[in-house]
Structure 1
Amino acid sequence: MDATLFHNPAAGDEGHSPEALVKLLRAAGLAARPCNTKGERFREALEAAQGLAIVAGGDGTVGKVATRLRDHRLPIAILPLGTANNLARALGSWGTPEAFAANWRTAQRRPLNRIRATGPWGGRRFIEAAGFGAFARAVERADQKGLKGVEAGRAAFRAVLSAAEPLRACVTIDGKGREVETLFLEVMNIGLFGPNLPLAPEAAPGDGRLDVVSLPPGRREAMLAWLEAPDAGPPPVESWRGRRIAVDWPRGPIRLDDESMPHEQPSTASLEPEAEALQVLVPPSTEIAERSSA
C-alpha cells in the first residue's frame, strides 16, 4: 500500500529516525515516502498523499497534518513520538511504531472530527480543544519560557490558575445561551487536554459533539488539588455538550490546540464540527497497545 510518512524531525529517538521508520514500514508492506512536516515539501506532500497518511510525532504534528489534509477519506495512522500524545491516547494508541508495523493490516477505523473555529482570526480548524482563560495563558507563558514536558506544563497551569481572575462569559450551546463566571473555558473534542489532563472523560472525538468545560471561581482550590493527582477522580468542573458552540469572551488569551490566536477585546468565537470526519487507524484491540507499552 502507498503511504506518506509525515514526521517531525525533532520527535522520537535515534531508533525512530525517519530513515528507521521508513525501513520498518516498508518491511511491513507499506511503500512509505518520508515528508518532513517542517520542510518546504510539506504542503505538496499533503496534496499528493495516497493510500495512508502516517504521522510520526506528538499532538502538534498530528494536528498540523490532520487540520490541513485535503481529502478526509484518506485514513491516518498515528505513531506517538511526542510528550503528551493526547490524540493517540484518546483514539487508541499503538504504543510503538513496531506495534503498528506488525498489526496495521488488522487495524480498526475510528472517526475523528475536525472542528471549524471562526473568530477574529478568520476561520481555522482544530482537533483537540479551544481554550479561553487560565490554561490558554499558561500555554503562552510556557511557550515564552521554552518549557517542555508534562510536569512542566502542569506546573505552569497551576501557577497561572492560582492567580487567575474570574471572568464573566456568555456560552451559547445549540442556540441556548448561558452566562458563566469562570477561571477558564475549554471547548473539547477529545477527553484529554494539555499535559495529559482528563478534563472531559466522556468526550468522544468522532461523535460530532463538543464538550464545554468551565471552572467556577469557587472550585479553584479543588482544581489545584485535582491537578496534583488527576487520575484519582473526576475534575471539579462544570460541563455541557453540544454540536454548535459560541463563546463571547471578555478579554484575555484564546488558543486553538497549542497555538495562541489573535483576538480582540472582547472576542466572539464560533465552534462546530465539520460534516465529514477523518478516519484514524487504531489497534484491533487494546491488548496490542497495552502489550507494546509495557
Structure 2
Amino acid sequence: MRVALIINPASGAIRDPADIVALLRSAGATEVRSFALGEEEAAARSGADRMVVAGGDGTIGPSALAAADGGVPLAVLPAGTANDFARALGLPLDLEQAARVALSPTPTTRPVEVCVTADGRPFVNAANAGLAVRAAREARGLKARLGPLAYGLGAVRAGLRAPAIEVDVTLDGRPFFSGAAWQVAVSGTGHFGGGSAVGDTDPDDGLLDVTVVPAGARIALARRAYGMRRGTLDAQHDVPHARARTARVHMATDAEGRGFNVDGELVKVAALEAHVHPRRAEVLVP
C-alpha cells in the first residue's frame, strides 16, 4: 500500500521522522513517500492509496483540506500534546495502534468537515477567542514538562487573571451576539484544550457550531469549565449556541486581548471569518 506522509518533526511525540516511516512500513505500507509541511496538496496528488499526517492538531487542518480536495483517505497519527482531533473521533492515541488503523486492509472512514478562515487557514477542531487564547499562552512553556495537563493549568491561570473581551459575532450575515464575553468558539469537532469540548457538535453537518460564553462573575467560570470538560457547555441555558454556514467574530478590545487559538495555533488578528469547505475529508477510524 502506497502512503503519502505529511510529518511535523517539531511535534512532541516525534523524536526522529524515520521512526514514523518505519512504523508505517511495519503496519503494512509498501511505499512511504514523505512530504514537508506546506506540501499537502502535492501529497494528495501523488497517487498514494492513503495520506497520513503525523503531528499535532495544528498540522491536521491543511492535510484534511488537501485530502478532501484530492479524494484520498486521510489517516492521523496523533503526535502532538493535546491531540484533540484524535479524541473527538475516537482514534488511538498510541502511535503504533494509530498506524495499524492507518494501514488497515479493510478500512472504515468517517466524513469530517474542514473549516476554513477567510484568509485560507484550514482547521478541524475550533477557532477560539478569549480565555482559550490566554490559556494557550499560559500553557506554552509548560507542555514539555506537563503534557496535556499544561492546558488545564493554563486554563486555571487564564480564568484567574484574563479579562473579558468585547465581541461582535455575526452568523450568515445576521447579528448573533454583541457585548462582553469570556470566550467565543467557532467549531468543527468542537474539541480543544487537551480534552475540553463545547458540546453536541456534528463534524459532518456542513455547518459551523458557534458558542459564546457571556462575561459575568469570575467565580461562575468554574461552572463553565466543568461544562467544557464534560462536553456540555452548549447545554447551559445562558450560553448562546447556534449553527451557521459562515461566521464572523470581531473583537473591539486592546491589542493584548486580541487573537484566536486556531487548533492550538495562536493567530493575532482582531477579526476572524470562517466557513465550511464544500468537500469533506474521509478520515480513517477504528
TM range (shorter): 0.7 to 0.9
1:211 to 209, 212, 236: 209
Map Cα deviations across residues 28-54 of structure 1 (whole Å, 9 max, x no partner).
43224252646x977754553621111
Q: Is residue 16 of structure 2 the alignment partner of residue 8 of structure 1?
A: no
Residues 212/180 of structure 1: CA separation in 2 closer, same or farther (3 Å cut)? farther
Task: Tell me if structure 1 keeps the 8 A contact 2:126–2:191.
Answer: no
- Contiguous gaps of at least 5 residues in structure 1: 284-294
Residues 41/78 of structure 1: CA separation in 2 closer, same or farther (3 Å cut)? closer
SS at match of 1:202: coil
Counterpart of 1:282 in structure 2: which amino acid? V
Residues 125/239 of structure 1: CA separation in 2 closer, same or farther (3 Å cut)? same
Q: What TM-score do you get using the length of structure 1 for normalisation?
A: 0.78
2:274 counterpart residue number: 271
2:265 counterpart residue number: 259
Map Cα deviations across residues 266-292 of structure 1 (whole Å, 9 max, x no partner).
x44221101011110101xxxxxxxxx
Map Cα deviations across residues 38-82 of structure 1 (whole Å, 9 max, x no partner).
6x9777545536211112232233235334558341111112232
1:107 counterpart residue number: 107
Q: Residues 1-294 of structure 1: matches in 2 within 5 Å?
A: 1-9=1-9, 10-12=11-13, 18-35=17-34, 37=36, 45=43, 47-48=45-46, 50-67=48-65, 71-102=69-100, 104-118=104-118, 122-143=119-140, 145=141, 147-148=143-144, 149-178=147-176, 179-198=178-197, 200-218=198-216, 220-224=218-222, 227=225, 231=229, 234-235=232-233, 237-251=239-253, 252-263=258-269, 267-283=270-286
Task: Tell me if structure 1 keeps the 8 A contact 2:68–2:280.
Answer: no
Quote the Cα distance in structure 1 between the aligned partners of 2:275 and 2:55.
26
Map Cα deviations across residues 3-27 of structure 1 (whole Å, 9 max, x no partner).
123333344367xx54444344334
Percent pairwise identity: 30
Residues 43/191 of structure 1: CA separation in 2 closer, same or farther (3 Å cut)? closer
SS at match of 1:105: coil
Residues 185/33 of structure 1: CA separation in 2 closer, same or farther (3 Å cut)? same
Counterpart of 1:133 in structure 2: which amino acid? G
SS at match of 2:150: helix
Residues 117/101 of structure 1: CA separation in 2 closer, same or farther (3 Å cut)? closer
Quote the Cα distance in structure 2 between the aligned partners of 1:187 and 1:259.
14
Quote the Cα distance in structure 1 between the aligned partners of 2:159 and 2:88.
25
Residues 68/162 of structure 1: CA separation in 2 closer, same or farther (3 Å cut)? farther
Quote the Cα distance in structure 2 between the aligned partners of 1:162 and 1:88.
29
Q: What TM-score do you get using the length of structure 2 for normalisation?
A: 0.80
Counterpart of 1:7 in structure 2: which amino acid? I
Counterpart of 2:112 in structure 1: which amino acid? L
- Once the 2 structures are TM-superposed, how far is the Cα of residue 176 of structure 1 from its aligned partner? 2.8
1:290 counterpart residue number: none
Quote the Cα distance in structure 2 between the aligned partners of 1:67 and 1:133.
26
Quote the Cα distance in structure 1 between the aligned partners of 2:14 and 2:173.
48
- Contiguous gaps of at least 5 residues in structure 2: none
Quote the Cα distance in structure 1 between the aligned partners of 2:14 and 2:272.
39
